[in-house]
Amino acid sequence: MNTYQAVYHRWLKCEDLDPSLKQELNHLSDETEIEERFYRHLEFGTGGLRGVIGAGINRINIYTVRRATEGLARYLRKNVQDAEARGVVIAYDSRHMSAEFAGEAAGVLAQNGIKVFLFQELTPTPILSFAVRYLGAAAGIVITASHNPPEYNGYKVYGGDGGQIPPITANLILEEINGVENELLVKALSKEEGIEKNRIFFLGEDIVQAYTNRLLSLSLQPDRIKQLDDFHIVYTSLHGAGNKPVRKVLKELGFAHVHVVREQERPDPNFSTISSPNPEDQKAFEMAIKLAHRVNADIVLGTDPDADRVGVAARNSDGWYVVLNGNQTGVLLLHFLLEQRKACGKLPANGVVLKTIVTSDLGRWIAASYNVTTVDTLTGFKYIGEKMNEYEQTGEYTFLFGFEESYGYLIGDFVRDKDAVQAAMMASEMAAYYKTKGLTLYDALQQIYETYGYFLEDLTSFTFAGKQGLEKMEQIMNRLRREVLSTIGNQQVKNVIDYLPGVHGLPPSNVLKYVLEEGSWLAVRPSGTEPKIKFYFSAVGSTYAEAESKLQQMKSFVSALVNSTA
């Protein structure tokens, strides 16, 4: 009997197996699917777990959540001082099984004698990060699959600093997880038992208000907002956790006209009104933009299910709403923050902007014009959080702004992960400021391009699911490392950076970056959270037409390359 078959039959024979999972197993007949579900444990990476909900060790379910939490509990008890008393904060979003998985994680921690602070309703990831720091907890867990399709869920682990765990910590936790011999035998207290034994405590409005108060302190010109009677915001939570906190901070800041997309206001794990709960998908904004035309909105905002990413749309000169990409929103926020802080004398001499290696270099040019340093990190906001901690301890730099191309932004350092609530608030204040100047956000972006050059970015992802998909992605990366590319499209390759060995002081990462002429570049990496290989493009030109031409050539080249890889 093959290894995967042995595990499969162990699950089938388990008398106490969850009835719904037992029924799911009994309906499996395809041997390939059985192998895919049981040939390996769902991978615990630097962000935790993420996978399709269902039966099997390569799926996310109550048993894989228990196994991961048992490993985390063992790690905390061995490595973190006073972990039992400091406790772990747990939050969850609106996805299928999120509340149940949060309860299972709480039960396993309580079984291990570790205090648990459990949010009572769906809560954004950034508030989880804030709560860990605010309470001085040993760690945090958030149950979310971010912007993945409805059939997914996930399990993200945060350290005592409020940031996602770094690779070293993840590896130590993984060692403990691998020491759990049978995921079906991990014990967990019921929620009632945990409460009775004073090991499970509930968090509520007081934490959210403390977070909101810190948000309000970030406002650069709060008095101006109260004077704008004709400023209108359209907001959609895309059926996720952002609805209450985003509306709360906008109201308390003084925005009087916030229009919510009612059809997408309530939590819905099926995300019934959209094809994807991802602000990177322009289709997700269709309902919001329709409402924006009705109310003549000045800005349109949309947050993903766990409210750590935000998308923004602004009206162009033709009166249409344009959904900005992640880089565009990022450089707008950066320029606004630096301009306003300089104007009021609050721009530190040692300020730093943190961005990832696949994020637009336009941010670097903007920062340099304000004598602010830019530091690149690997892809993933956890690396930005790590740098924030480093500079906080050394005093070498003062953090001003962190951003990544995938719609993640951070302004206030009381959170150590990307924060869509912060970004929604600041984007609204920014749009209000430009309105007083007779400009939309789209107009402001064009001014930035005219000043610094046209930087056009895009992302193309190729999905390769299952075991064969992993092999396909590996083939593509191997081919690119084996075959030296001298041109991409019509542009010469000036330099190739392979991040796998670890370069520029960064940890090893499976990323290739091709530096082209005049600052353009192409980067490729397999996703760490989805069955995708991603190609990032940045085309730079003195005009929009020049940059657009370069971009299309690069995209055509990549499509041909992927299709020709066996």
Are 563 and 464 in contact by the 8 Å Cβ rule? The answer is no
d(CA 396, CA 187): 46
Q: What is the DSSP letter of 262?
A: G
d(CA 324, CA 295): 20
> Phi then psi for 77, rounded to 5 degrees?
-65, -30
- Annotated catalytic residue within 94, 98, 129, 146: 146
Query: Closest Cα partner for 284 from 147, 463, 459?
Result: 147
Are 519 and 361 in contact by the 8 Å Cβ rule? The answer is yes
Query: Closest Cα partner for 358 from 541, 558, 513?
Result: 513
d(CA 482, CA 115): 51
- Helices 125-135 and 205-216 pack at an angle, to 10 degrees, of 100
Q: Which residues contact 63 (CB under 8 A, 6 or more apart)?
A: 18, 21, 57, 183, 184, 186
Gyration radius from the chain CA atoms: 24
What's the distance, CA 318 to chain centroid?
A: 32
d(CA 292, CA 430): 18
Pairing of strands 351-356, 398-404: parallel
Are 170 and 71 in contact by the 8 Å Cβ rule? The answer is no
d(CA 380, CA 416): 12
Helices (H), 463-543: 466-482
Report in angstroms the alpha-carbon separations of 115 from 27, 82, 190, 247, 332. Answer: 39, 10, 14, 31, 42
Locate 92 and state its tokens.
């969850």
Neighbour-count burial of 272, counting CB atoms closer than 10 A to its CB (0-12 exposed, 13-18 middle, 19+ buried): exposed
Asked about 146 being catalytic, the answer comes back as yes
Q: Which secondary-structure segment (H or E) carries 46?
A: none
CA atoms within 13 A on the CB side of 542: 0
d(CA 67, CA 501): 31
Report in angstroms the alpha-carbon separations of 148 from 49, 51, 91, 238, 278. Answer: 13, 9, 18, 13, 7
d(CA 182, CA 121): 31
Catalytic residues: 146
